[in-house]
Structure 1
Amino acid sequence: MRYIVVFAQQEIGYAVGFDYSTDAIDFLFWGYEEYDLLPYGIFDALTGEVFPYEHRGERVVAVDEETISRTATDYLKAAIRQTN
C-alpha cells in the first residue's frame, strides 16, 4: 500500500491505503460524490509527498498538509503493528 487517503466522515478523521494512485483518487471522488466524505488528500508513503484533494478543480476543505501527513503516517504505523 503506497497511497494513503485521508478524509473525514461525520467530523471523524480516517485513512485508508491503496496500491495505486488512481484507486485513491477514485475513492475520494466517489466518497465525496456519493457518501458525504470530506476528502483531505493523499499521502504518498514512498516519497512522503502530500497531494491535497481537489474536487473538479477546487479544494473541498481547507486542511494543511501536515495534518494529512500525520494522519497517514499514524495509519501506517497502526497497520504495521497489526501485522507483527
Structure 2
Amino acid sequence: MRYIVVFAQQEIGYAVGFDDPSDAVDFLFWGYEEYELLPYGIFDALTGEVFPYKHRGELVVSVNEETISRTAKDYLKAAIRQTT
C-alpha cells in the first residue's frame, strides 16, 4: 500500500491505504459525493509527497500538509504493528 488517503468523518480523522493512485482518488471522490466524508488528501508513502484533495478542481478543506502526512504515517505504523 503506497497511497494513503486521509479524510474526516464526523470530525474524526481516518486513513486508508491503496496500491493504485486512481483508487485513492476514487475513494476520496465518492466518499465526498456519497458518504459525507471530508477529504483531506493523499500521502505517497514511497516519496513522502502530499497531495491535497481537490474536488472538481477546488479544495474542499484547507488542511496543513503536515497534518495529512502525520496522520498517514500513524496509519502506516499501526498497520505494520498489526502484521508483526
Sort the TM-score into its range (normalised by shorter chain).
over 0.9
User: TM-score, with normalisation over the residues of structure 1?
Assistant: 1.00
1:53 matched to 2:53:
yes
Q: Which 4+ runs in 1 deviate beyond 2 A?
A: none
Shift of 1:61: 0.5
Q: CA deviation at 1:54?
A: 0.1
Partner-residue secondary structure (3-state), 1:63: coil
Unpaired segments of 5 or more residues in structure 2?
Answer: none
Instruction: State the identity as a percent.
Output: 87
* 1:28 corresponding residue in structure 2: 28
Deviations 1:15-53 (A, max 9, x none): 000000000000000000000000000000000000000
Structure 2 counterparts to residues 1-84 of structure 1, below 5 A = 1-84=1-84
Normalising by structure 2, report the TM-score.
Answer: 1.00
Number of aligned pairs?
84
Aligned-pair distance for 1:2?
Answer: 0.2
**CA RMSD of superposed structures (Å):** 0.2
Structure 1: stretches of 5+ with no match in the other structure = none
